[in-house]
Structure 1
Amino acid sequence: MQAAPNLATIRIKNLRLRTFIGIKEEEISNRQDVIVNVVLQYPADRAVAFNHIDEALNYRTITKHIIRHVEEGRFQLLERLTREILDIVMSYRQVLHAQVEIDKPHALRFSDSVSITLSESRA
């Protein structure tokens, strides 16, 4: 019987970025804060065995990709931004499952934030 793989869970927590998001004139004209949280899983057998970055999923590379996309983009809806970040994460072939949550602070009066969460798994 084969041993279960070392399934690693990586959490990128509270990545604070600024982007153009929304549909109102002031949202289109001014950058706003968004908070990105990503949870991803990948098989880490080779990283565990060889203890070398080339065998691991490089979360720094993924984070830089997300930062560039968010800060250079313009988005009307949180749903769209969340989907695009999920697509970025899933473009890394090692990722088996990912969940992305994006908060838009102060989007509603009397609320800390509004968030959207999307997830995807590889078949």
Structure 2
Amino acid sequence: MARPWPTRLAFRSSDRALHATFDDGVTVRVPYELLRVESPSAEVQGHAPDQKKLVTGKEQVEVTQAEPVGRYAVRLTFSDGHNSGIFSFDLIRELGENAGELMAEYRAKVAQAKMGRG
């Protein structure tokens, strides 16, 4: 079975989100903040699961550029200068399908980290 393929990637500053439509009819919305804090780059993910960094302060981040990478991904440049994450189309779909849950988990981690600094 073929994997769903994006037929449209729309970057909308109005709601700070990537809207991706796939050839199986599914459309997902991925907030720019989620794209930034879940960037697949080593800067964010580290080189092992226990090295993932908690990136904060990205509520207002914008995507300023998107470049195709082969036929499987897109490299995003963010308004804070981050540009080393290559987002596979599978990852974009996964982030979009789980955006609500992922954002809730992220916000809980940020709140916990802030309480731990007091």
Q: TM-score, normalised by structure 2?
A: 0.25
Bigger radius of gyration among the two: 1
Q: TM-score, normalised by structure 1?
A: 0.25
Which has a greater percent of strand? 1
